[in-house]
Amino acid sequence: MSFDRDAGGRRIARRGGGGLVTALSGLLAHHDVTWIASAITDEDRLVAVERGSEPIEEQTREGSSYRLRLLAHDPLAFDRFYNGVANGAFWFLQHYLWGLAEEPVVGPDFRVGWSDGYTPVNRNFADAVVEELGREPGSAVCFHDYHLYLAPAFVRERRPDARLTHFIHIPWAQPDYWHALPGDIRRAVHEGLCANDVVGFHTERWRRNFVQSCEAITECRTETAVYPIAIDAGEFEALRESAAVLEEERKIAETRPELLVVRVDRTDPSKNIVRGFRAFGLLLERHPELHRRVGMLALLDPSRQDVPVYAAYRAAIERAAAEVNEQFGDGTWRPVDLHVADNFPQSVASYKQFDVLFVNPIFDGMNLVAKEAPLVNERGGVVVLSENAGAHEQLGAWTLTVNPFDIEGQADALYEGLTMAPAERKRRNAAISAFVREHDIEAWTDAQLADLDRLTSTILS
């Protein structure tokens, strides 16, 4: 949720996308919620200043009411918090993306980012939570993700009886890799999280890693649980028939080859897009009989393009796609159809049209595309899925499993998916769809709140 001005200078609210919004949609439907969030746009900051600590009454697309409280941090502190520490360090660490010979360099700049960015912004959140708990004592407090590792401890100091739960949307790295940050910082992260009554993860693998890194790094312990995030199946089943999606689908259907491999991702190094194109090139090298019959549609949402590593990764993506097209394509056939744009209706349209969905992240907390796309697919499409995507823990029995570093294995899996017998394709696709429909987003929220109720009432009794 963010505010902006329209061309006429009127304030308008924009609703965002992504995992956090999915997570919230389950919560907002049936609970009385105050959402505390950072002011991002200039207009957000104006709203935050106008309102002070008074939340704004808002409504979801589905009509549920909630209160939104925007925090206007110091802009430099926010940049250090968001770009420097959260996305610049924790994102890379927790996806094992650093080349440790060169990165990270923890010097004076990083220390300032920690002391004058990540820490005060977390303290702002904690202050707001404490204030809200003054208004609504006993409320459950739900922290989300790698931006707020310190806030729970700051709240706990001042409200020992607060009821705190934290959900981590990304992988948890094993303790050796946490040693890429100095002892005081890695301890503060684990101690901050252990101030929660319970910490939740998408998979047993990430949960176990967290328990292990707590043991290796700090004396603190807390309850942990696995809550694999779900999607709002009804939303995608409605979207499937929306005018915007049908229009995008018409365009894809007009130009698609007989066999279509689809990938939908942000242009993030963790998504492994370059190796994906190399694997597709290897498929074409080994299977000339597929030339002109198969194509890869890559729909990539440009991500963090003001960060040099991300700009370089986008350039590498474009080079890798061009290499495949130069090696195998000609005037009438372009094997890789690359779109770097934010076009959600086009993504949903591609979900309907794939024969093989290619999801090969290096590491990924869950990966929602692997759940969304099979649900709306209409061709009995096969999912090729990385063993390092959280979704693999739930869906692996019905997907073709690949190692994300193994481009030969990925080429083989693409081939297997493209040539699989129709009955087997349909069986697997139906199994994933049924699973995704059965596990809905409201159950995901309710499980977390039920655990928090159980754990905090035990402590109080």
Identify residues 27-86 at the interface with a copy of itself (CB under 8 A).
none
- Residue 319 CB, shortest distance to a copy of itself, in Å, is 13
Q: Does 333 bind a copy of itself (CB under 8 A)?
A: no
Residue 187 binding a copy of itself, by CB under 8 A: no
By beta-carbon proximity to a copy of itself, the closer residue of 53 and 212 is 212
Q: Are 252 and 355 in contact (CB under 8 A)?
A: no
Instruction: Indicate whether 181 belongs to the interface with a copy of itself (CB under 8 A).
Output: yes
Neighbours of 459 (CB within 10 A): 10
In angstroms, what is the minimal distance from the CB of 234 to a copy of itself?
A: 35
In what order do the strands lie in the sheet containing 163-167?
140-144, 163-167, 198-201, 223-226
Q: Examine residue 142 and tell whether it contacts a copy of itself (CB under 8 A).
A: no
Q: Which is nearer to a copy of itself, 89 or 376 (CB)?
A: 89
Of 309, 277, 391, 407, whose CA–CA distance to 97 is shortest?
309
Which tokens is 100 given?
């440790």
Considering the complex, state which of residue 279 and residue 436 has its C-beta at the smaller distance from a copy of itself.
279
When asked if residue 408 is in the footprint of a copy of itself (CB under 8 A), the reply is yes
Q: Name which of residues 99 to 128 contact a copy of itself (CB under 8 A).
A: 99-108, 111
Would you say 62 and 26 are in contact if contact means Cβ atoms under 8 Å apart? no
d(CA 303, CA 368): 17
Rule CB under 8 A: is residue 442 a binding residue for a copy of itself? Answer: no
> Quick one: which of 371, 381, 376 has its CA closest to 349?
376
Among 22, 209, 377, 448, binds a copy of itself (CB under 8 A): 209
Q: Comparing C-alpha atoms, which of 209, 234, 169, 207 is closest to residue 368?
A: 169
Site mask for a copy of itself (CB under 8 A), range 350-379, x = bound: ------------xx----------------
Whole-number minimum distance, CB 273 to a copy of itself, in Å?
Answer: 10
Provide the terminal-to-terminal Cα distance of the chain, rounded to the nearest Å. Answer: 38
In terms of residues, how long is the chain?
461
Task: Please identify, using beta-carbon distances, which residue of 229 and 320 lies nearer to a copy of itself.
Answer: 320
Total of chain residues touching a copy of itself, rule CB under 8 A:
45
Q: Does 272 bind a copy of itself (CB under 8 A)?
A: yes
Q: Prior bond to 175 cis, omega within 30?
A: no
Residues 227 and 203: their CA atoms lie apart, in Å, by: 7
CB of 173 to a copy of itself, least distance (A): 7
* Shortest Å, Cβ 294 to a copy of itself: 19
DSSP string, 341-359: S--HHHHHHHHHH-SEEEE
Minimum Å gap between C-beta 49 and a copy of itself is 36
Task: List phi, psi (to 5°) of 96.
Answer: 55, 40
User: Which stretch, 35-43, 77-85, 91-99, 295-303, contacts a copy of itself (CB under 8 A)?
Assistant: 91-99
**One of 387, 393, 442, 451 touching a copy of itself (CB under 8 A):** 387
Out of 257, 269, 295, 390, the only residue in the binding site for a copy of itself (CB under 8 A) is 269
**Relative orientation angle of helices 441-460 and 19-30, to the nearest 10 degrees:** 70
Helix (H) or strand (E) holding 251: helix 243-255
Question: Nearest-CA neighbor of 404 among 275, 316, 269, 262?
Answer: 275
Residues that bind a copy of itself (CB under 8 A): 95-108, 111, 173-177, 179-183, 209, 212, 269-270, 272, 274-275, 278, 282, 313, 362-363, 387-388, 403, 405-409
